[in-house]
Amino acid sequence: MKALIFIVDTVFSLAVYVFLLRFLLQLVRADFRNPIAQAVLQLTNWLVRPLRRVLPPLGQLDTASLVATALVQLLATAITFWLLTGVWSPASPLLIGALRQLAIAAIQLYTFILVGYALLSFVAPGAPSPAVHLLGSLAEPLLRPVRRLLPAMAGLDLSPLVVIIGLQALRLLIS
């Protein structure tokens, strides 16, 4: 049973990350001609396109992607709870748990993005790569304000470290 719970949790976690990535890419207005962004679109279109017919965007906020992400997380939380307990959770605790898990997933995803972006800046600075461009478009909106307050010291940019520490503190508050 533990193996089944692990597999279900892993599959749903990956699905939530992909839907969350789609929402974030649209939020930061990333280049969707990027091959990685194209893969994210193809993996999520099955749910986002039908929702887009009934949920128009609110300004720059893509409500269809956000609702799709929330629905996948809600389903993941409900199924995981059922596998662990054998009963279905009441709606209110299920919704609160799903929103909490979604916030934690967003923090973890951004942590992965920042670590990847920082590592790529050390390994291949200035290298033209689809991953670097995509990670940059996602990471820069968080790093820019910190860089204004904390400029690079001796050529070393500590802003990813500061943002990651802040994200982890926020994650602890949510947990």
For residue 156, the one-letter residue type is: L
Predicted model pTM = 0.92
Q: Ramachandran region of residue 143, left (φ > 0), alpha (ψ -120 to 50) or beta?
A: alpha
Residue-level pLDDT, tens digit, the chain, 175 residues: 899 999 999 999 999 999 999 999 999 999 999 999 999 999 999 999 999 999 999 988 999 999 999 999 999 999 999 999 989 989 899 999 999 999 999 999 999 999 999 998 888 777 788 888 999 999 999 999 999 998 878 878 899 999 999 999 999 999 8
- How many angstroms from the chain centroid is the CA of residue 57? 19
Q: How far apart are CA 105 and CA 102, in angstroms?
A: 5
Cβ pair 136, 117 in contact under 8 A: yes
Domain residue extents for the chain: 2-174
